[in-house]
Amino acid sequence: MGSARFDRDRIRALLEAAGNKLTGEWLLVGGAAAAAWFSPGRTTEDLDLVGLGGTQDERFALMQLASDAGLPVEAVNSAADFFIRKVAGWRDQLVELHRGPRAVIYRPTATLFLLLKIGRLSEIDLDDSLRLVDHCRVQNEPLDADRVRDAIDVLPATDDAGLLDRRRTLRDRLA
């Protein structure tokens, strides 16, 4: 697994390894979740994989998993737990993605995925978000559009015209 660029197949292979080697419950978010779930052509530079126990031992086990796979430890990232835990009811917004003999890996619901993206809402975040909204419509997958629109409406004001446009674009797509 040399370079740290991940496509859907490499993500799935790492999830398989995680299910075999890690223990407990984990949540995959960000671009890796998008690629594994609704955006098959999406690639990412790292996997945002969060141990649901929130322990340092989980973080070390994740880094060991990367090292064992021949990846730099920076290829796996658990910093998203800070943002996940800020979302009310996040624990009820998980969908099983992979079950191994030792660990279960979840992905967020569409609602949680969008709630995690809207704070930064970079160009790639917007692209992921729009693809997900379209995916939900086509696949009839649940999405609490009202909750996401309400969350967009209470985001801090910004002078960044590009960010305002991206927020407006996502909000309009949710209508």
pLDDT in tens, 6-22: 999 999 999 999 999 99
Give yes or no for a contact between 172 and 165, defined as CB atoms under 8 angstroms apart: no
Do 91 and 24 fall within a single domain? yes
The overall average pLDDT reported for the chain is 96
Q: By the 8 A CB rule, do 158 and 168 touch?
A: no
The residue to which tokens 């796996």 are assigned: 76
- Distance separating alpha carbons of residues 147 and 45, to the nearest angstrom: 30
Q: What is the pLDDT of residue 4?
A: 64
Rg (CA), the chain: 16
What percent of the chain lies above the pLDDT cut of 90? 95
Q: Are 120 and 100 found together in one domain?
A: no
Give 88-106 pLDDT, tens digit per residue.
999 999 999 999 999 999 9
Last residue of a domain, one of 80, 108, 136: 108
Quote the number of domains for the chain. 2
Q: Is residue 95 part of a domain?
A: yes
Confidence of residue 47 (pLDDT cuts 50, 70, 90): very high
Give the span between the Cα atoms of 29 and 36, in whole angstroms: 10
Residues 104, 24 share a domain? yes
Same structural domain, 124 and 165:
yes
Same domain, 96 and 124: no
DSSP, collapsed to helix, strand or coil, labels residue 39 as coil
Residues 6+ apart with CB under 8 A from 52: 24, 25, 26, 27, 91, 106
Which tokens belong to 101? 């003999």
The last residue of a domain, from among 53, 77, 108: 108
In this prediction, residue 2 carries a pLDDT of 46
pLDDT tens for residues 122-175? 999 999 999 999 999 999 999 999 999 999 999 999 999 999 999 999 999 999
Q: Could you tell me whether strands 24-29 and 47-51 are parallel, antiparallel, or unpaired per DSSP bridges?
A: antiparallel
Position 1 confidence tier, pLDDT thresholds 50, 70, 90: very low
101 and 134 share a domain? Answer: no
